[in-house]
Amino acid sequence: MTLAVFLGSLLGAMALGMPIAFALLVCGASLMLYLDQFDAQILAQNVVSGADNFVLMAVPFFILAGEFMNAGGLSRRIVDMANAWVGHIRGGLGYVAIVSALVLASLSGSAVADTAALAALLIPMMRNAGYDVARSAGLVASAGIIAPVIPPSIGFIIFGVAGGVSITKLFLAGIFPGVLMAISLVLTWWWVARRDASRVMPRTPLAERLRTVARGGWALVLPVIIVGGLKGGVFTPTEAGVVAAAYALFVGLVVYRELTWTAIYHALLSTAKTTAVVMFLVAAAFVSAYLITVADIPGQISALLAPFMGSPTLLMFMMMLIVVLVGTALDFIPTVLILTPVLLPICKEAGIDPVYFGVLFIMNNAIGMVTPPVGVVLNVAAGVGKVSMEDVVRGVWPFMLAETAVLFLLVFVPELVTVPMKWFL
C-alpha cells in the first residue's frame, strides 16, 4: 500500500500539471501523512539539507563552463576541426556531428547545451548539403546525449550525491561506455546514410587541417586537464568544475576574444536560472528519498524483484527495463532523483557494484532524453534546428536503438565498464 501511495501521489500531482519539484514535495508529504508521521519541520529540514551539499557546487560551474564555451567560440572551433578532418567522407557531416559531440561532451557534461550548439551549427549545413533533415536532426540529438555519460557529467554528480557513490569513480568509469555510444552512432550513420545523395564536401588540405587543430587546441586541452586532475588526485569533481569554468572564461575572453561582457552577463544569468531549477529539484527529491527510506519502499521493490535476485545480470536487465519505461514519461534529473534511492539499495543487496550500476543508470536516463513523448533533447534539436518535432522523432529511432543496444550489451558484459574503470583508477 505504501508503494501505491508513493506512485499515486507523485503521478497524480504530475497529472495535474504540477512542476516536478512540487510533485516530489507533495509525494513526500503524502507518505508522511500515510505513515502518521507528518512534521513540517522534518519536511523543511530535508529540503535544506538536500541543497546543502558541497559536491553540488560542481553543477553550476560545469553549466557555466558550457555557457562560456558556446559564447566564447570553443564549440564552433571544435566543429570546424572535426569538419576539416572527416567532412570529406561520404556522409561526412554526420561523422562531424558525432566527433564534435564526443569532444563537447568531455567539456560541458550537459546534453541540452551540447545539442543546442550542434543543432545551431550543423543542421543548417546538413540541410544545404542535401542530407535528410529528419535523420540529421535525429543524429544530432542522439549524439548530444553522450554528454551525461562522458566526464564531466552533471548526471553523475547528481547520482553520486543522491546515492553516496564516489563521483570521481563514476567520472572515470563513464569514459569507455561514452566512446562505445559514439562508435554505435558511427556504425548506424554509415548504414543509414551510405546511399544518400548528399553532396560530398571537398577534402581539406593537410595544412588547413593542422591550422584548425591549432585554433581548436585550446578546447582539446580542457578534458585532458579534468581527467588528468581527477585521476592524479589534483582536484575533486567540485574543484574540476571551477577549473573548467575559469579555463573556458580565460580562453573565450583572452585567447579567442569572442566572449564579450554582455555575453558573460547572459551566460551567468542562464547558469543561475538552470542551477535554480536543478537545485530545487535536488532539494525536493531529498524529502521523497527520506520518506522512501522510512517507508522501506526499496524493500517492497526488492520483494517484487526477488525472483531475479539470484542473478545480478538478470536483475540489472529488469531494472534497466524499468528505467526505460520511466524515462519515456519523466525527464532526466527527476528520474535520477526518484529512482536512485529506490534501486541502489537493491543493487547493493544483490552485490552489484554501485559505480557500474550508476554508469548504466545514467546512460539509460540519457537515452530517455531522446525517447518520445517527453524527450527534452528532441525538443532542443527541433527548436534550434528549425525542424518539426515529428521529423526529429522519425529520424532519431535508428540511433536511439543503437545506443539502447550498447546499454544492454553493457548489462550482459559488465567487464566493458569495470575493466576500463580499474585501468583509469
Q: Which three cell numbers stand for residue 334?
A: 527527476
Q: Which three cell numbers stand for residue 337?
A: 532523483
- Residue (of 46, 63, 54) closest to 285 by Cα position: 46
How far apart (Å, rounded) are the C-alpha atoms in residues 26 and 14? 10
pLDDT at 19: 82
Q: Which three cell numbers stand for residue 218?
A: 585550446
DSSP summary character for residue 253? I
How far apart (Å, rounded) are the C-alpha atoms in residues 21 and 14? 10
Contact 146, 270 (CB under 8 A): no
pLDDT at 197: 60
Q: Which residue has the higher pLDDT, 262 or 283?
A: 262
Q: Position of cell 539499495?
A: 345
Q: Which three cell numbers stand for residue 35?
A: 505513515
Segment 122-139 shows an average pLDDT of 90
Contact 99, 363 (CB under 8 A): no
Asked whether residue 157 carries a pLDDT value surpassing 90, the answer given is yes
How far apart (Å, rounded) are the C-alpha atoms in residues 104 and 74? 9
Tell me the per-residue pLDDT of 306-321, one tens digit each, with 9 for 90 and over. 888 889 999 999 999 9
Tell me the per-residue pLDDT of 25-62, one tens digit each, with 9 for 90 and over. 888 888 888 888 878 887 888 888 877 877 788 889 88
How far apart (Å, rounded) are the C-alpha atoms in residues 334 and 66? 21
Own/partner contacts of 295-300, CB < 8 Å, gap of 24 or more, are 295/2, 295/6, 295/31, 295/34, 295/35, 296/2, 297/2, 297/3, 297/6, 297/342, 298/341, 298/342, 298/343, 298/345, 298/346, 300/2, 300/3
Asked whether residue 174 carries a pLDDT value surpassing 90, the answer given is yes
Q: How buried is residue 208: exposed, middle or buried, by Cβ count under 10 Å (0-12/13-18/19+)?
A: exposed
Q: Identity (one letter) of the amino acid at 368?
A: G
pLDDT at 232: 81
Tell me the per-residue pLDDT of 175-215, one tens digit each, with 9 for 90 and over. 999 999 999 999 999 998 877 766 677 888 988 888 988 88
Q: Which residue has the higher pLDDT, 354 or 218?
A: 354
- The neighbour count for residue 220, using CB atoms within 10 Å, is 16
pLDDT at 26: 87
Tell me the per-residue pLDDT of 100-118, one tens digit each, with 9 for 90 and over. 999 989 887 789 888 988 9
pLDDT at 410: 97
How far apart (Å, rounded) are the C-alpha atoms in residues 29 and 35? 10
- Rounded to two decimals, what is the model's pTM? 0.88
Task: Please report, for the chain, the start and end positions of each structural domain, with discontinuous segments joined by +.
Answer: 56-424
Asked whether residue 241 carries a pLDDT value surpassing 90, the answer given is no
Q: Rounded to a whole number, what is the largest CA-CA distance in the chain?
A: 73
Residues in contact with 378: Cβ distance below 8 Å, sequence separation at least 6, in sequence order: 141, 369, 370, 372, 389, 392, 393, 396
How far apart (Å, rounded) are the C-alpha atoms in residues 331 and 370? 10
pLDDT at 198: 66
Q: How far is CA 133 from CA 11, 122, 139, 167, in A?
A: 36, 11, 10, 38
Tell me the per-residue pLDDT of 343-385, one tens digit each, with 9 for 90 and over. 999 999 899 999 999 999 999 999 999 988 778 899 899 998 8
Q: Position of cell 551566460?
A: 267
% of the chain at pLDDT higher than 90: 37
Q: Identity (one letter) of the amino acid at 423?
A: W
